[in-house]
Amino acid sequence: MNATTLPASHILAIPVLEPERLFGSPDAITGVYHALAKRWHPDLPDGDATVFAHIGQLVERAKHLATIGMWHLPGVFEFAAGGKQYRVRYLRAFAFELGQVLFGKTRLTYVIRQEFADQAANGRTIIEGLRYPDAKTGEVMRRYLPKVMEFQETATHVIVSIEKPIDLIRLRDLLTFSDGKLDPRHVAWMVSRMLNLASYLENQKLCHHDFSLDTLFVCPEHHSLSLLGGWWYAAAAGSSLKGKLLPARTIANAPSGLITTKIATLRTDPELVRLTGRELLGDASGISLARNPDIRPEIANWLRMSGTGSAMEDFTVWFDKALGKRRFVVLPVKANDVYPELLT
């Protein structure tokens, strides 16, 4: 179908990060834009301000990609590094503070702007430096922590590929699929898994700084949860964060000491776990949790109150006082329900 005959719903469904889906090639940007303007400009009888504004965002992104040489076919990302040509196929693209992540069937490809190359390298170093107290613990924990598959640099970007099992679902996508909130029984086991990961990092004296809907991935069938993203912000506890960009969400919700001193503190990750739990229940502020009859008061109170400052201590309190009687509750969602592209 010609771009100029696309209905409004199709145009609005095109992600701003993927203007190639509308314009086809860099040479066609200007011509397609002018044709679309004649159809959708709000001053026209059948125009639409919302559609036209979205087209404007797409054209700006398209020009930017063409200028920096990052134009690629929809669902295909190509780049040259070290004298070799690489091609990455992906299903969806998501933006984050340092660039974008390409969600594929079996990998996440982080395309990080060159200005944040130091943070990309830092993330790789921390991931590859993760240690375990014994072989058995290592065998278990490696299932839920990232493995770097590729690390390449171009003149404009650093490309990092992380292994991703095909059955994992990004928490934000699961939440969207579930109409903005999850059953409290499922949030309970997800919080448990988050606290387990945060406790492991605390034992390593590491601060992740980005436990979030975008960095955590879940397998409903096995009630497992993995922390695959956000490692670019990680730092050793007590180290300086000067010069390191942190996610806006972390800055807004971290302990005040992190912002005033710019020193990494182990208090941050447990607070982000609480915030993520509230977001999964559809109430980031936590104001209405206590009034929700479906949420046990102990869980609502735990998610709303300040933590002990230690993920391990919070984990103990969570199990002893908040979680209550534990039993396996099936979450009947599979990755291909959320990502139908997996079936193609």
Residues 6+ apart with CB under 8 A from 144: 193, 197, 224, 225, 226, 227
Residues 6+ apart with CB under 8 A from 52: 37, 40, 41, 42
What is the total residue count of the chain?
344
The predicted pLDDT at position 327 comes to: 66
Tokens 């933006």 correspond to 95
Q: Contact, 127 vs 146, CB < 8 A?
A: yes
Tokens 């014994």 correspond to 134
Least trusted range by pLDDT, from 37-51, 107-121, 237-251, 329-343:
329-343
Least trusted range by pLDDT, from 150-154, 245-249, 298-302:
298-302
**DSSP-derived secondary structure letter, 232:** G
Q: Compute φ and ψ for 148, nearest 5 degrees.
A: -80, 120
Residues 6+ apart with CB under 8 A from 325: none
Question: Which two tokens mark 209?
Answer: 């700084």
Q: Contact, 226 vs 145, CB < 8 A?
A: yes
Q: Is the pLDDT of residue 1 over 60?
A: no
In which band, very low, low, confident or very high, does the pLDDT at 322 lie, cut at 50, 70 and 90? low
Secondary structure (3-state) at 222:
helix
- 115-133 residue pLDDT tens: 999 999 999 999 999 999 8
Q: What is the mean pLDDT of the segment spanning 69-97?
A: 86
What structural domains does the chain harbor? 3-68 (no CATH), 76-163 (3.30.200.20), 169-335 (1.10.510.10)
Instruction: Provide the CA 195 distance to its chain's centre, in angstroms.
Output: 18
Q: Contact, 111 vs 101, CB < 8 A?
A: yes
> Partners of 235 in the beta sheet?
207
- 239-277 residue pLDDT tens: 999 888 999 999 999 988 898 999 999 999 999 999 999
Question: Which two tokens mark 276?
Answer: 């993520």
Q: Contact, 198 vs 211, CB < 8 A?
A: yes
Q: What is the mean pLDDT of the segment spanning 319-332?
A: 72
Tokens 């940007």 correspond to 29
Q: 145: closest CA among 32, 234, 255, 68?
A: 234
Q: 145: closest CA among 133, 158, 129, 157?
A: 129
In which band, very low, low, confident or very high, does the pLDDT at 75 lie, cut at 50, 70 and 90? confident
| Element containing residue 171 per DSSP (H, E) | helix 171-177
Q: 298: closest CA among 322, 270, 330, 314?
A: 322
Q: 213: closest CA among 200, 199, 224, 229?
A: 229
> Partners of 240 in the beta sheet?
263
The predicted pLDDT at position 118 comes to: 96
Question: Dihedral of CA 130/306/171/191: which sign?
Answer: positive
Ramachandran area for residue 282 (φ above 0: left; ψ -120 to 50: alpha; else beta): left
